[in-house]
Structure 1
Amino acid sequence: MKKNDFKNQVIKIILGLDGRVLFSEYVWHDVKIQPEYWSKRLVLIYRLGRINLYYSKKNSLRKKLWRKIYLHLNLKITEGKLNSHIPASAYIGQGSKFFHPYNVIINSHSYIGGNSVFRHNVTIGNVGNGNQDSPHIEYGASFGAGSALIGPIHIGHHSKVGANSVVTKDFPNYSVIVGAPGKNINKD
């Protein structure tokens, strides 16, 4: 048995996983690529919450125990120290990086593709008033500091959202979005 296979088996037993996810690929890969100390903690807590929510065996004592640990870590580190809100029900694809992960707010119904880049003060959310429609952002997006994406919008893959931009409408692939309201300045 390989060393990684043994580690995955031990972690499956400890966390009560149902076998659909390899912990070393799903969690450790994303933690290792993070650029700073607090980014690693943020991603680890998010991935643990996501595993607990979707990949743990139903109604097990371990699931309840790890849920309490996740909620405690989320409250103390993600919301307490980093002032960020990233619920486990929000989808953030693998390979995404958080540079300076402070004040990052992501709605629980958001979908963000893999290899995205987040900077501080990014807000991705709905319009409120009971409307839970949230942004759908494709693979490889980049979000500048202070950018906000609001409402049921679709942002194409490899798009870039500039600093302090406010995006409230759809944009195609390879867009470069700047300003408030956001405008695509990529002419290609």
Structure 2
Amino acid sequence: MLVTISGPPGSGKSTVASTLADHLSYEHISGGDIFRGLAEDRDLTLAEFNELAEEDPQIDKDLDRRLRETARGRDDIVLESRLAGWMAGEYADIKIWLDAPMSVRARRIAEREDKTPAAARAETEAREESETQRYEEYYAIDFDDITIYDLSVNTARWGPDAVTDIVLDAVDAYQAERDEGPTPIENVRYQF
């Protein structure tokens, strides 16, 4: 089974995906970890690397191609990234969307990255605006359209363990033979 976990920065994607993968004994593949690793390889901050990605479309496309190829060729994984649901597309068995209000996400990011909530919020808003424009330009993806997801959870309402339990309940209840079909992903240009 291929489960995707998507959502904006600070929504709890990595926490839930890691715990879910452990519980299911699946491999956890994180697009964010790959992106952060690429930034570190170039000795750039995440904000600096994001700015570079604005100038060099190949950075996003290489990452997204890896995610799509992983989804196409693998099983028993939890694929986690902002675009995991879109990139996995028809290969995903279950697509999960996690979100939380910006104030909550900024606080989480600030704690994780040891910065002020105001700085985290400003960087996150700039990053989201940049990425949203790039996704639209590259792939015709409307990032605000969450209708492709099978389950959406506001992670500000429950703690990480409870959110994982909600997602795990959905995964455990899934029966492929009774699946009448996911919401189709239409008009996306997978051009890598």
Structure 1-normalised TM-score? 0.28
More helix by share: 2
Of structures 1 and 2, the one scoring higher in RCO (CA 8 A, sep 6+) is 2
More strand by share: 1
